[in-house]
Structure 1
Amino acid sequence: MSRDAREWVWEHSSSKGTARLVLLSLADRAADDQCVAWASLASLVERTNASRTAVRDALVALGTSGELTILDHLEGPQRSTVYRLPRAAAWMAKTAAARRMDPDAYVEPPTASDPVPGLDEEGEKDLRRYGIWPRKGTDSGTSRRTDSGTSRRIPAPRGAGFRPRHGTESDPQNRREPKLNRKDSSSGAAVTPISGWQVDAASHSWARQNGHLDRLGEDGMRTAEAKWRAHRAGHAPRPAAAWARDWRSWIAREHPAARPSLYAVPGAGTGPTGGMTRAQAHTAALLAAVGEPTTAREV
């Protein structure tokens, strides 16, 4: 289920900078469709490679946006904090309900009005297999639950009134980078089946600039695209930008066709023959490539 939670972050989260890294780190630890994960502040600092202050600010930003809550009546291993991604849980519940009716149904993008499924007692018991238990002395946490279920907003870090000058969504090293929304993040993005999507000019330019066109060649690019379309043939329609990202990811992972063996000598087999050593076979192949005779030359 962590894959589905990560997919929600990539496709639908409005977080940026360190906040996005923190959310991805927690989504990576989501055990099931309840989107509950545990993490210590130190582990988030290590995984995101950000400062402790930056991670704290990111948690505050995510709590303010409603994309992350703390389940303060639960605790993870070594008394670590337990978080929930409520918007991701709502999206997964919405998708599961639609797919039960029709496995190929198109699911509308998530909205703020999508209901967040509650975390009942049975669901909390399922979390115990992942090391998440009720906090000691809370009577299974029922006395500390809020009206929204079992969560609360993330409090601001210590230091009254402290707010980063440039906001809480990114680190200082990201201040010069433009904060752009994803082109297909709006709920009204048009979708198309894979058969109706063609590689656009921007994707061609990306493949050329990143060396994939030189690495694979024109034939290799066509072969890679054919394989990609065959693997994605059964997927539901997506926005054009989503197909473009998926295509780029596939091309970046594609390996070029195997090169011919250097042992091959014109008119001979694929390995050293005729009593030639391996070094002599290499030399013969190179000389044959430049049109030189393969016999020893006088010095």
Structure 2
Amino acid sequence: MSRDTREWAWAYSASRGNARLVLLSIADRIPDEQCVAWASLTSLMKRTNASRNAVRGALVALADCGELEVLDDLDGPQHSTVYRLPRAAAWLAKVAAAREVDPEGYVEPPDESDAVPALDIDRLRRHGIWPKTGSESDPRRQNLTGSDSDPSRQNPNPPRVRSRPLPGSDPDPQNRSEPKVNRRYSSSGAADLTSAGDWKIDDASRSWAQQQGHLARLGEQGFQAADAKWRSHRAAWSPRTVAAWAADWRTWIAREHNPSPGRPNLYALPGGTPTVKAGITRAEAHTAALLAALDEPTGTE
């Protein structure tokens, strides 16, 4: 089941940088479709090769965007923190329900309106996760990201001071080469938020679409239609950062079907047919799609 959760993270998560590494590290521990796993701060630091502050900042960023939930009423082995990926759980439930109706049918991409299944505590006990003892105000469990070697759990909550930008936000040094566009809401020390309708295709996103062959695959008219379709589906979503919209938009464009039968399909394999070979995983299909896109002419040869 961890493979399905990882595929959700690769295909649909808007996280980036350290936050994406931490999300994938937790997804790798998922034992079933409830998308619940336990992890200590120390283990996440080792798996991501990141500092303590970087991991803590990534956990806060994932919780803020709704892709990670801390289950404070549950305990993992050695009182480790228990996490849930609610959007991944909703997606897996959506896929399972659709497969019961039509095993070969198309499943719509995840949406924020997808219902998150209720937890089955008895099943979690099989994986060493139990309801914690004591009251919810117990100071031992007030730390968001404690470690295995810290049984007292008396560290305070990490301060959410926004003077240091979260991973993936506009002020992050990795994004300094991107133009400062798409701003709508701004406040001192906080990441700018905007709606999908107000988000503009910047030079970096258009260059990505051209380099990956999506402009040549869809054509200018199909490209504009795909962009309009994305904005229509995201109109009701709450405001997000520019980086989050850009990541979600790129995922949409990469998965958009070619409207013209005369152009190659995104999922065409190099030297093969335009359909996905049977028996390969979604991750393998994505890899083949990227290889096929690299083989397509971009107009810059």
TM over 0.5: yes
Q: Match of 1:246, as an amino acid?
A: A
Q: Within the alignment, does 1:19 sit opposite 2:19 as a pair?
A: yes
Q: Within the alignment, does 1:135 sit opposite 2:201 as a pair?
A: no
Q: Is the 8 A contact 2:18 2:54 kept in 1?
A: yes
Q: Is the 8 A contact 2:17 2:167 kept in 1?
A: no
Which position in structure 1 is the counterpart of 2:149? none
1:35-76 per-position Cα deviation (integer Å, ceiling 9, x unaligned): 001000111111111111111111111111111101111111
Which position in structure 2 is the counterpart of 1:190? 256
Which position in structure 1 is the counterpart of 2:62? 62
The change in CA–CA distance for 1:244 and 1:137 in structure 2 (over 3 A counts) is closer
In 2, the alpha carbon distance for the partners of 1:19 and 1:97 equals 30
How far the C-alpha of 1:167 sits from its partner, in A, is 3.3
The change in CA–CA distance for 1:96 and 1:129 in structure 2 (over 3 A counts) is same
Which position in structure 2 is the counterpart of 1:163? 162
Q: Within the alignment, does 1:233 sit opposite 2:275 as a pair?
A: no
Q: Match of 2:247, as an amino acid?
A: N
The change in CA–CA distance for 1:196 and 1:117 in structure 2 (over 3 A counts) is farther
TM-score (norm 1): 0.58
Sequence identity (%): 49
SS in 1 for 2:278: coil
**TM alignment of 1:91-102, pairs within 5 A:** 91-102=91-102
Q: Match of 1:136, as an amino acid?
A: T
1:150-170 per-position Cα deviation (integer Å, ceiling 9, x unaligned): xx9x699434x6224333437
Q: Is the 8 A contact 1:35 1:85 kept in 2?
A: yes
In 2, the alpha carbon distance for the partners of 1:45 and 1:177 equals 28
SS in 2 for 1:38: strand
Q: CA RMSD in A?
A: 4.0
1:238-269 per-position Cα deviation (integer Å, ceiling 9, x unaligned): 9xx9955334579xxxxxxxxxxxxxxxxxxx
Q: Is the 8 A contact 2:16 2:167 kept in 1?
A: no
SS in 1 for 2:162: coil
Q: Within the alignment, does 1:245 sit opposite 2:244 as a pair?
A: no
Give the count of matched residue pairs.
209
Which position in structure 2 is the counterpart of 1:8? 8
Structure number with larger C-alpha Rg:
1
Q: Match of 2:105, as an amino acid?
A: A
How far the C-alpha of 1:188 sits from its partner, in A, is 11
Which position in structure 2 is the counterpart of 1:106? 106
How far the C-alpha of 1:131 sits from its partner, in A, is 1.2
How far the C-alpha of 1:197 sits from its partner, in A, is 8.0
Consecutive unaligned residues in structure 1, runs of 5 or more: 145-151, 205-220, 251-299
SS in 2 for 1:105: coil
